[in-house]
Amino acid sequence: QVQLVESGGGLVKPGGSLRLSCAASGFTLSEYYMSWIRQAPGKGLEWISYISSASTTIHYADSVRGRFTVSRDNTKNSLYLQMNILRAEDTAVYYCARDLYGTFDSWGQGTLVTVSS
Amino acid sequence: QSVLTQPPSASGTPGQRVTISCSGSSSNIGSNTVNWYQQLPGTAPKLLIYSHNQRPSGVPDRFSGSQSGTSASLAISGLQSEDEADYYCGAWDDSLNGPVFGGGTKLTVL
């Protein structure tokens, strides 16, 4: 069955960096777009980035553009999110999700990122 | 401020039918299909409805979706206690060139 497992979350100071990973199994990662979606504590869902199957198309939400970088390694069945210049408002649970042109049919369990001094 | 608008809360008693609305604009719901996600307490969201009114395997037919103009709604019939969750609508937005979500509706089963 499809499984997505995020890792790499933790506590980081404002201005710091963090790299999240998402390990995919149960399907052929190279055939799918993938997205990162976050959820601040007690808040709703916010899509932040998608990457096409061959990494040729990448798009970011305005809130993270220029600070976050999404990438993937299909040979390792992995998706990544490099987060730089982190702010307190980036504190959230970060989910990776399989993306069928804006329909997210499988989600990971999420990894918590806390930005605080 | 979410691009799609949902009521923050909804409630019903077991067996009742409840609906949750989702309002958008011509650039999202007005031109693209709406998806619904269910988030049980402490868990990741799960796709509940896609492409107007399609249900992934395993989702009971008590859940149904509809869409008209720039609005959509999720209906849950035969409400059960395990339906208590947060529900989010989502759609592609042509102006933003990305997916957008509603703010979520917390459903309470009384």
Nearest CA in chain B to A105: B47
pLDDT of residue B19: 98
Partner-chain contact A47 B101, CB within 8 Å: yes
Across the range B58-63, mean pLDDT stands at 96
pLDDT > 80? residue B52: no
Min CA distance, A22 vs chain B (Å)?
Answer: 14
- Between strands A103-107 and A3-7, the pairing is unpaired
E strand or H helix that includes residue B20? strand B18-23
Beta-bridge partner residues of B100? B91
pLDDT of residue A12: 98
- Between strands B98-101 and A92-100, the pairing is unpaired
**Percent of chain A whose predicted confidence (pLDDT) is above 70:** 100
CB contacts < 8 A, A to B, total: 56
Q: Report how far residue B64's alpha carbon sits from residue B55's, in angstroms, rounded to the nearest whole number.
A: 8
Residue A76's SS3 state is helix
Partner-chain contact A50 B98, CB within 8 Å: yes
